[in-house]
Amino acid sequence: MTAKPIYKRVLLKASGEALMGSQGFGIDVAVADRIASDIAEARALGVEVGVVVGGGNIFRGVAVASKGGDRVTGDHMGMLATVINALALATSLRKLDIDTVVLSAIAMPEICESFSQRATLHHLSLGRVVIFAGGTGNPFFTTDSAAALRAAEMGAEAIFKGTQVDGIYSADPKKDPTATRFDHLSHSEVLEKGLAVMDVAAVALARENHIPIIVFSIHEKGGFAEILTGGGRGTIVTDN
């Protein structure tokens, strides 16, 4: 018997940094294909999936600002990086015959459709995976905020943050080997404890809209479907 998913409609935030694999920069197609196969598993369970991909494997706006450049221009470059990643992930999904559409917050009609809530709901209702490119379309934000925003707009029941670590820890586990992992936290606890796995604006928006956040490792093959069916490893963030 096929396991039943806990959620019917979710938003996956896929780490941009993870997409570079061991290359140190850019896109490792094998990693994009693997993440696509995890999304295909979720679709096979009947779950409707929206995806936001980060841009950390290519560009972050702060890199320009830290060298004395204009932050807004840097952020524009970062948002364009997320479009490149979205196109790569869409290509990987289509190789698996998963019907996929890319909707961009920045109009580029020769390349992909523009984002609107109406288009999102239309494509989801036809069983398509919707990849949201270009972040929020505004500088001074991140793709975590875009994930929380698009999750609210698409009526997602949960945000799955697939990242480099397998949950939320008492401190960044990459910097502090003594950090301990939480199984469960509230949105308010994440904010009060200053747990920096996701930015403050994103957590606050998810809290306001009562959307749970599940932080899990994007590197764990099959991890997305496991959590969707009530197993797996990650930290869940809920209202209380």
Ligand X SMILES: Nc1ncnc2c1ncn2[C@@H]1O[C@H](COP(=O)(O)OP(=O)(O)OP(=O)(O)O)[C@@H](O)[C@H]1O
Ligand Y SMILES: O=c1ccn([C@@H]2O[C@H](COP(=O)(O)O)[C@@H](O)[C@H]2O)c(=O)[nH]1
List the single partner that 138 binds among ligand Y, ligand X, none, CB under 5 to 8 Å by kind: ligand Y
Q: Does 128 bind ligand Y (CB under 6 A)?
A: no
Query: Which residue lies nearer to ligand Y by CB, 5 or 74?
Result: 74
Question: Shortest gap between Cβ of 34 and ligand X (angstroms)?
Answer: 15
Question: Shortest gap between Cβ of 71 and ligand Y (angstroms)?
Answer: 8
Cβ-in-10-Å burial (0-12, 13-18, 19+) of 18 comes to buried
Query: Which residue lies nearer to ligand Y by CB, 50 or 56?
Result: 56
The piece of 24-32, 77-85, 125-133, 173-181 that touches ligand Y (CB under 6 A) is: 77-85
Q: What is the CA radius of gyration of the chain?
A: 17
Task: Write down the residue that tokens 């790569």 correspond to.
Answer: 88
Task: Write down the residue that tokens 């984002």 correspond to.
Answer: 115
Q: Does 169 bind ligand X (CB under 6 A)?
A: yes
Backbone angles phi, psi at 83, to 5 degrees: -70, -45
Whether residue 150 is annotated as binding a ligand: the answer is: no
Whether residue 14 is annotated as binding a ligand: the answer is: yes
Query: Which residue lies nearer to ligand X by CB, 130 or 165?
Result: 165
Q: Does 162 bind ligand Y (CB under 6 A)?
A: no
Whole-angstrom Cα distance, residue 108 to residue 40?
27
Interface ranges with ligand X (CB under 6 A): 15-18, 54, 56, 143-144, 163-165, 168-169, 171-174, 195-197
Q: Which residues are annotated as a binding site for ATP?
A: 13-16, 56, 60, 163-164, 169, 172
